[in-house]
């Protein structure tokens, strides 16, 4: 576990000490991506799903959480924002938009082993 050192700020003679209390959490499993039929449909957060956005579905993370997703097969990483619920298939931990899946190079195989990291 990485420890973050405090950041010091000096403002008009006042010393502020800032530390990051958020800890990083990592999960590993399979990632898949949304079928085109979901384009334009409402997500669980209420926004419309767009294949061209860097968004994803996770079963429990709060909407708006930013997640780093790393393809364990090729080392490629992206950052996505959680805006939906799912996936609901055993072993899968995240569903990506097509844009995210393309950047991770998982379009051909459809599913890939990934690591996701986020602050809790």
**Please, how many CA atoms are within 13 Å of residue 26, restricted to the half-sphere of its CB?**
6
pLDDT in tens, the chain (120 residues): 454 544 444 444 444 444 557 789 999 999 999 988 999 999 999 999 999 999 999 999 999 999 999 999 999 999 999 999 999 999 999 999 999 999 999 999 999 999 999 998
**Whole-structure pTM over 0.85, yes or no?**
no
- Listed in sequence order, the residues at least 6 apart from 112 whose beta carbon sits closer than 8 Å to its beta carbon are 30, 31, 71, 72, 73, 104, 106
- The β-bridge partners of 29 are 114
What are the phi and psi torsion angles at 45 (to 5°)?
-80, -10
Written as one string, the DSSP assignment of 36-70 is GGGTT-B-TTSSBP-TTS-EEE-SSSPTT-EEEEE
Q: Which domains occur in the chain, in start order?
A: 22-119 (2.40.40.10)
Identify the DSSP state of 104: H
């Amino acid at each position: 576990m990485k420890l973050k050192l405090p950041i010091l700020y000096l403002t008009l003679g006042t010393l502020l000490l800032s530390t990051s209390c958020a800890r990083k959490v990592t999960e590993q499993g399979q990632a898949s991506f949304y079928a085109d039929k979901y384009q334009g449909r409402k997500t669980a957060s209420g926004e419309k799903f767009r294949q061209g956005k860097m968004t994803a579905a996770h079963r429990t993370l709060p909407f708006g959480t930013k997640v780093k997703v790393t393809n364990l097969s090729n080392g490629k990483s992206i950052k996505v924002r959680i805006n939906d619920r799912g996936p609901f298939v055993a072993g899968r931990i995240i569903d990506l938009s097509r844009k995210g899946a393309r950047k991770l190079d998982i379009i051909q195989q459809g599913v890939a082993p990934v690591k996701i990291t986020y602050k809790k």
